[in-house]
Amino acid sequence: MAYKIGIDVGGTFTDFLLTRDDGSSAIYKVLSTPKDPSIATVQGIEEMARDRGLTAEQFLSEVTTIVHGTTVTTNATLTYSGARTGLLTTRGLRDALEMRRGIREEQYNNRYPNARPVIERRLRLPVDERLGAQGEVITPLDEGSVRAAVEVLRAEGVEAVAVCFMNAYANPAHEARAAELVRELLPGAFVSVSTEVVPAIRLYDRVSTTALNAYVGPVLRRYLESLTRKLADLHYRGVLLIMASNGGVIAPEVAMDRPATTLLSGPAGGPVAGLAFSRGQGYADCITCDMGGTSFDVALVKDGKPLTTTEGDINRLRISLPMLDVVTIGAGGGSIGWIDEGGLLRMGPQSAGADPGPACYGRGGTRPTCTDADLLLGYLDPAFFAGGRIPLDVDAARRAVDEHVAGPLGLDVDAAAAGMYEVINVSMAAAVREIAVNNGYDPRDFPLVTAGGAGPNHACQIALELGIPVILVPRESSIFCAAGMLRSDLKHDFVRTYPTRLDGIDPDRFRALCREMRDQGLALLADEGIPADRVTVGLTLDLRYLRQYHEVGIEVSWDEAEACDPAAIAAKFHPQHDALYGYSLEDKGTPVELMNIRLTAIGRTDKPSLVPEPRAGEDPSPARKGVRRAYLPGERAFADVVVYDGMALRHGNRFDGPAVIEQVNTTTFVTPEFSVVVDPYGTYTLYRKEREDEILGRVLG
Amino acid sequence: MSGNVTIDKVLVSILQRRLKSITEEMSIAMTRTTRSPILCEAKDFVTGLYDARGNMLEQTENLPILAFSLAPVCKYIIEYYGDDIHPGDVIFHNDVFSMGNQNNDVAVYKPIFFDGELVAWAACKGHQADIGGAVQGGYNPQATEVWQEALRIPPIKVYEKGRRRKDVWDLIFANIRLDIVEEDMRAEIGSCVVGERGMLKILERYGREVFEAHKEHLFDATESMMRQEIRTIPDGVYRGESKAYYDGQNPGSEYTIRVAITVEDGRIRFDYTGTDPQTPGFVNGTFTSSASATILTFLQMVNPDMPHNQGMIRPIEITIPEGTILNAAYPAATTYGNHLCPNNADAIMRALGPVIPDRVTAEWNELLCSLTTGKDPRKEGAPFVDIGFMGMKGGSGGIYGCDGYDHIGMIDASGGVLDQDYEMFEQQTPHRLIRHEYWCDSAGAGRWRGGLGVVTEFEIGGEAVKLVTFGDGDVEPARGAQGGKEGTLNVIRLRYPDGRWYTCTTKDMVADVPAGTLYYQEAGGGGGWGDPRERPAEKVLADVRNGVVSLERARGDYGVVIDPETWTVDEAATAELRS
């Protein structure tokens, strides 16, 4: 028997999805161990082994693949506990990293402090060298200045060194030589070179990404060494892969080489999971939303591909690597409700977290949270939260809502809880709308795949707010990201900047850049054990009209790149610009400019198969647990609502809202506007009546 | 109309959040579609929604100095057209003598109809790269009247009932130099369409009556929040003065801004009576540029987490006599007016600083900016225009509890306008950047020091290069507060290839700058807050080690003695100096 394990380390829980090659699966959750997250990982493995009557060694000998998502780099950056890092950069420009182009994100807030850089000024050292905008050498690299700077860094005891020079995207020679000197003079230091990390134009983006890469490098190395050692001690011989923020997975060696690719990888498994569950019903597009204890993450999948961005931020610091475009807001089960000075009700972004947690946890929390409201509205069963492991205190929830929301607003407690529920739903809906609209899509055209412990309780209201007619709640929604990790491919991104008007492009140079990146991708994937016949290559050209500042990424095939026909490429650009922004300048004959060529090399992995369940009848009554009072937002009233045991629902079961579907780690509240049908993989499909024929066709065939 | 609607307090919160998110969507549409770097990189624009009477519903204020003219212009347009407003109309406006704030800030207004009734307006206003007049880009220190500065657009319909008025459209763009302005105005219209769609969704969902009643309640709630903030300031009359230097025509000229601020029962009145008369040149404010300056300065003294709607404005009253430097009479030149904001802000901070010292910053570095135009030989002589955002960003003033913000730039934008990226700068202009770094000892010392200023140097490239400067801050530095020290002055100098130095005036126009000339700019630091000797010694040490405060100033200003061999504070010597 062969197993695969997806492991997602979260702030509170470490989630495990164990799949077997016969398609069966099991979910595990273990309390996280923030000081060394690999401890919880091993505990989970031991628990899985125990349940199968095996030792950890015996169990692991049957495991072929472990895919692991880690937040150690994210946390190190958020808490400024990364490595002591130095920067070598072009003389005159050493403050680019800290200045961040002079933005203050809160304009009216005079107590909003300067963002703290990951490398302080005295460790940002100038080097004498200068390249022109075309990569021509204006001042040759003064190796003496590099040596002198490295001596300073050595005396300061740095563990990592970032190297980033002006215009190096057009000529990496100076950086390469400086890096060579650093490696020679400071053996053992982690060296991060901008043209290796992200060789694209825009100095601030590059220096910031390169600095972050250096800052988290030693941290990730230590962590992965600890993890691989623990697995080696248990004689694990299968494959270990690490989740990257681009939605792909990579070998640990690759991650250690480019650690910044793991920054913000926490929610990166979500879209792949969303796609896996929606694809079963024939969708190529979906929006995924994951509502945990403190945050709400939204992503969008279009034509089978999650949207990516190169403008990510962490702690107000730019990461310019391709990463999944995830909109995160501070809304979760722990979000606190409060009344502002104008008497308006607000929810979050402050969260009660896991400690003290919502008032109803009875661990000392006195502020009313979203979970308290959900409890008072009848969506949660006080005796069956986390399968009964955390008994909920209804009175404590009532007191908290009464004191902090109902009293000040002059409402009764139920109305106040309903208000809290509605306000947070509107905020989450705004986040869903943002990711769609930002990218030129209408959210109503996408099924909403909902995950996280709290998400399915709120999905209907979010969908109603936006007019989204279909919601999918996978059975594995509580360990959604772990599920996505097991379905992710190996993925490496490359970029080269080649600023030129398309009508003046040098085809040989263009092809050479494409081939260079492809060969790099093939080599990297070969090192990870992926044969060439499992590799696909995707090319995107960043194009814009002459003198525009923002580019549009246009996908081209390898053959189109080889052909390098400017007219054919421009012909793909005009309609895309029109679709996104409402106009094109094709008729005016405005020239099109190329800025960057991006290549993604994907190595296909074997995915756990989803085995369809045989179809049962429509009648859900075998899964019926009972009836309880729950609040119907549309009617503004409580009513008796049927409660189902989610694990007992079968493929083909159908019922109308209002209803509550309970599982151990998640509860789904179905409002009266929605009906439910269970698909062959156990996914609850919530739909508006007017879409019934289409949905039943998709789900029941 | 709201008589029989029951107010749902939760819906009020939801409505506010929805309105805000629509204006944010409008802003995204602008950023993504515009071509002028002033718009798509620097985000020099504002988007907003207004009710049928022109009251502000919500705004996204990337550049606050533009923000508080949109509602007054909306009211003006409603009155101007009377019953001649129809679905599908699109109206342009920039005229500074009918509530516009600056000629280059061109607005688009789109009326929103629901069930055949005018219910709201969507509007967008952005700084256009050119709007006609004698000088490309609009900044013309020699201008003495509006026609030398710009094409005036009192309201004009460019679309009527959904049809574009081709003749009107062509007339406007025939008077503007750069073709990207036409595209960027299309983008402003697109942004308004986004706003219209969002508003209609709200109305379809709740109906007009519920919307109106809850809107009024939102205004009232916000007003009460603002009044509560104002009540934390003791009632009284507070006076402040500041000076604006050099009108661009008469060397050595000075103008005084005088404000009397009356706080009474949760209301605040700013009265500029007694402010000096307008200047003969373009250094003149308009009513709305000066009112915006007033509001944005005051908003920084209250809770920043407040909805922006008409209720916020209601307790604020502003009087600016016509014919003064802050509200010039027709047909004065006024393009510089937005940049009187720092001077105006100083007068307000000097009036209120002593009253609410913990909520008022020390003074900010004043703006001094340059603009270069010319031809780029690398691109077959194609023209380039560059506003020197990078050089102009000095520091903000310190405040109780927080150091000033480094490299933030003018208070009119408060960190909303960004530098060009360094490498994009060298792609877009023929200049070569040599230095762009924090300026050591530029920040005013204080318990909370001022924000750092910046030194910028670049080598000018290209042909037929012309340099225009506009700004202030070369005479009077940003003052400290509560015992804090002042920041440093601004300057722009040129070193010609023959080695000769030229110091620009603050409103200058220098023609035929040869390639190879060195451009040198110092943007000063902000003022410090509180006695520098109360600043923790380890913070001073960190600044010294980071090279932003010198050893000498650490000792002289902060009373902190540091041993540069060991990088430790000499505790005994420090205690003695500080006693």
Q: pLDDT by residue (tens digit) across B237-274?
A: 999 999 999 999 999 999 999 999 999 999 999 999 99
pLDDT at position B271 is: 98
Q: Please tell me the distance from the alpha carbon of residue A404 to that of residue A400, in angstroms, as a whole number.
A: 6
Give domain status of residue B231, yes or no. Answer: no
Closest approach of A647 to chain B, Cα-based (Å): 36
Task: Residue A120: list chain B partners with CB under 8 A.
Answer: 542, 546
Q: Residue A550 is nearest to which of B32, B183, B389, comparing CB atoms?
A: B32
Cβ neighbours, 10 Å, residue B243: 15
Q: Please tell me the distance from the alpha carbon of residue A369 to that of residue A363, in angstroms, as a whole number.
A: 13
Closest approach of B48 to chain A, Cα-based (Å): 17
Q: How many CA atoms lie within 13 A of B299 on its CB side?
A: 27
Residues 6+ apart with CB under 8 A from B174: none
B429: containing domain: 361-535
Answer whether B229 sits within 8 Å of A580, measured CB to CB. no
Residues B525 and B379 in one domain: yes
Name the closest residue on chain A to residue B429, using Cα atoms. A133
pLDDT at position A388 is: 80
Among all chains, which residue has been given the structure tokens 């109106």? B212
Within A457-576, strands assigned E span 470-473, 490-501, 535-545, 552-556
Q: Does A537 score more than 90 pLDDT?
A: yes
Structure tokens at B213: 């009643």
pLDDT average, residue stretch B543-554? 98
Residues 6+ apart with CB under 8 A from B222: A342, B306, B307, B309, B310, B311, B312
Asked if B426 contacts A133 with a C-beta cutoff of 8 angstroms, the reply is yes
Closest approach of A344 to chain B, Cα-based (Å): 6
From first CA to last CA, the distance across chain B in angstroms is 68
pLDDT at position A350 is: 85
Residues 6+ apart with CB under 8 A from A79: none
pLDDT (tens digit, 9 = 90+) per residue, A342-395?
Answer: 788 999 888 887 678 899 999 889 999 999 999 999 999 999 887 787 899 999
Instruction: State the pairing for strand pair A85-90/A160-164.
Output: parallel
Answer whether A426 sits within 8 Å of B16, measured CB to CB. no
Among all chains, which residue has been given the structure tokens 């990404």? A209
- Domain stop point among B179, B209, B225: B225
Q: Pick from A633, A555, A430: which is nearest to B15 by CA?
A: A430
pLDDT (tens digit, 9 = 90+) per residue, B43-94?
Answer: 899 999 999 999 999 999 988 899 999 999 999 999 999 999 999 999 999 9
Residue type, A302: K
Residue type, A172: P
pLDDT average, residue stretch B1-16? 76
- Domain stop point among B191, B225, B259: B225
pLDDT average, residue stretch A471-476? 92
Answer whether B304 sits within 8 Å of A109, measured CB to CB. yes
What is residue B522's three-state secondary structure?
strand
Task: Residue A345: list chain B partners with CB under 8 A.
Answer: 9-10, 13
Structure tokens at A211: 């600095």
DSSP string over B399-460: BTTBPPPTT---TTTTT-SPPPPHHHHHHHSS-EEEEEEE-TT-SPPSSBPPPP-EEEEEE-
Q: How many CA atoms lie within 13 A of A417 on its CB side?
A: 24
Give domain status of residue B232, yes or no. Answer: no
Closest approach of A67 to chain B, Cα-based (Å): 37
Task: Residue B293: list chain A partners with CB under 8 A.
Answer: none
pLDDT at position A395 is: 96
Distances (CA, A) of B199 to A139, B121, B122, B194: 57, 9, 9, 9
Peptide bond into B331 cis (omega under 30): yes
Task: Residue B418: list chain A partners with CB under 8 A.
Answer: 101-103
- The domain A490-603: what is its CATH number? 3.30.1490
- The vertex-B195 CA angle with B194 and B197, nearest 5°, equals 65
Residues 6+ apart with CB under 8 A from B142: B134, B148, B248, B249, B281, B509
List beta partners, residue A449. A288, A472
Answer whether B427 sits within 8 Å of A499, measured CB to CB. yes
Name the closest residue on chain A to residue B223, using Cα atoms. A342
Asked if B250 contacts B285 with a C-beta cutoff of 8 angstroms, the reply is no
Q: Give this prediction's pTM.
A: 0.89
pLDDT average, residue stretch B121-143? 91
Q: Does A435 score more than 90 pLDDT?
A: no
What is residue A105's three-state secondary structure?
coil
Distances (CA, A) of B287 to A374, B284, B312, B517: 51, 10, 19, 39
Answer whether B427 sits within 8 Å of A112, measured CB to CB. no
Instruction: State the pairing for strand pair A323-324/A286-291.
Output: unpaired
Task: Residue B435: list chain A partners with CB under 8 A.
Answer: 92-93
Kind and range of the H or E run holding A677: strand A674-678
Answer whether A201 sits within 8 Å of B423, measured CB to CB. yes
Name the closest residue on chain B to residue A636, using Cα atoms. B8
- The vertex-B121 CA angle with B115 and B127, nearest 5°, equals 155
Closest approach of A364 to chain B, Cα-based (Å): 28
Task: Residue B292: list chain A partners with CB under 8 A.
Answer: none
Asked if B307 contacts A342 with a C-beta cutoff of 8 angstroms, the reply is yes
Question: ipTM of the assembly?
Answer: 0.94
Answer whether A122 sits within 8 Å of B547, measured CB to CB. yes
pLDDT (tens digit, 9 = 90+) per residue, B455-501?
Answer: 999 999 999 999 999 999 999 999 999 999 999 999 999 999 999 99
pLDDT at position A340 is: 82
pLDDT at position B3 is: 61
- Domain stop point among B535, B553, B570: B535
* Residue of A93, A98, A114 for testing the chain B interface, max B β-carbons within 10 Å: A114
pLDDT (tens digit, 9 = 90+) per residue, B171-201?
Answer: 999 999 888 899 899 999 999 998 998 899 8
Closest approach of A171 to chain B, Cα-based (Å): 13
Structure tokens at B322: 């016509």
pLDDT (tens digit, 9 = 90+) per residue, A564-582?
Answer: 999 999 999 998 877 666 6
Structure tokens at A479: 């360990």
Task: Residue B542: list chain A partners with CB under 8 A.
Answer: 120
pLDDT at position A700 is: 86
Q: Does B1 score more than 70 pLDDT?
A: no
SS (H, E, C) A367-410: CCEHHHHHHHCCCCCCCCHHHHCCCCCHHHHHHHHHHHHHHHHC
Closest approach of B250 to chain A, Cα-based (Å): 33
Q: Pick from A345, A349, A376: which is nearest to A360 by CA?
A: A376
Name the closest residue on chain B to residue A431, using Cα atoms. B21
Distances (CA, A) of B85 to B92, B107, B109, B120, B482: 13, 17, 11, 12, 54
Structure tokens at A202: 């825009």
Peptide bond into A356 cis (omega under 30): yes
Give domain status of residue B410, yes or no. Answer: yes
Closest approach of B401 to chain A, Cα-based (Å): 7
Q: Residue A344 is nearest to which of B13, B396, B436, comparing CB atoms?
A: B13
What are phi and psi for residue B316, nearest 5 degrees?
-105, 125
Answer whether A201 sits within 8 Å of B427, measured CB to CB. yes
pLDDT average, residue stretch B90-114? 97
Task: Residue B303: list chain A partners with CB under 8 A.
Answer: 341
- DSSP conformation class of A140: -
pLDDT at position B2 is: 46
Query: Which has more pLDDT, A426 or B438?
Result: B438
Residue type, A536: T
Give domain status of residue B15, yes or no. Answer: yes
Cβ neighbours, 10 Å, residue A447: 26
Answer whether B64 sits within 8 Å of A108, measured CB to CB. yes
Distances (CA, A) of B215 to A518, A671, B12, B94, B456: 57, 28, 7, 28, 48
Task: Residue A102: list chain B partners with CB under 8 A.
Answer: 389, 393, 407-409, 415, 417-419
Of A264-278, A612-626, B5-19, which one has max mean pLDDT? A612-626
How many percent of chain B have pLDDT more than 90? 83
pLDDT (tens digit, 9 = 90+) per residue, A104-159?
Answer: 999 999 999 999 999 999 999 999 999 999 999 999 999 999 999 999 999 999 99
pLDDT average, residue stretch B503-510? 96
Q: Please tell me the distance from the alpha carbon of residue A247 to that of residue A274, in angstroms, as a whole number.
A: 12
Cβ neighbours, 10 Å, residue A21: 14
* Residue of B205, B220, B432, B437 for testing the chain A interface, max A β-carbons within 10 Å: B437
From first CA to last CA, the distance across chain A in angstroms is 32
Asked if B55 contacts B79 with a C-beta cutoff of 8 angstroms, the reply is no
Task: Residue B403: list chain A partners with CB under 8 A.
Answer: 113-114
Peptide bond into A658 cis (omega under 30): yes
Task: Residue A434: list chain B partners with CB under 8 A.
Answer: 21, 24-25
* Residue A583 pLDDT class (50, 70, 90 cuts): low
Asked if A472 contacts A287 with a C-beta cutoff of 8 angstroms, the reply is no
Answer whether A102 sits within 8 Å of B418, measured CB to CB. yes
Instruction: State the pairing for strand pair A286-291/A296-302.
Output: antiparallel
pLDDT at position B94 is: 97
Mean pLDDT of chain B: 94
Length of chain A: 701
Name the closest residue on chain A to residue B8, using Cα atoms. A419
Mean pLDDT of chain A: 92
Q: Does A100 score more than 70 pLDDT?
A: yes
Say how many domains are in chain B: 2
Residues 6+ apart with CB under 8 A from A23: A608, A609, A610, A611
Answer whether A346 sits within 8 Å of B548, measured CB to CB. no
* Residue B292 pLDDT class (50, 70, 90 cuts): very high
* Residue of B7, B8, B12, B13 for testing the chain A interface, max A β-carbons within 10 Å: B13
Of A314-318, B5-9, B408-412, B456-460, which one has max mean pLDDT? B456-460
pLDDT at position A581 is: 64
Answer whether B10 sits within 8 Å of A93, measured CB to CB. no
List beta partners, residue A451. A290
Structure tokens at B177: 């130099």
DSSP string over A145-189: HHHHHHHHHHHHT-SEEEEE-TTGGG--HHHHHHHHHHHHHSTT-
Q: Please tell me the distance from the alpha carbon of residue A424 to that of residue A337, in angstroms, as a whole number.
A: 9
Answer whether B406 sits within 8 Å of A422, measured CB to CB. no
Burial code (b: 16+ CB inside 10 Å, e: under 16) for A579-591 equals: ebbbebbbeeebe
Q: Residue B14 is nearest to which of A110, A112, A422, comparing CB atoms?
A: A422
Burial code (b: 16+ CB inside 10 Å, e: under 16) for B68-90 equals: bbbbbbbbbbbeeeeeebeeebb
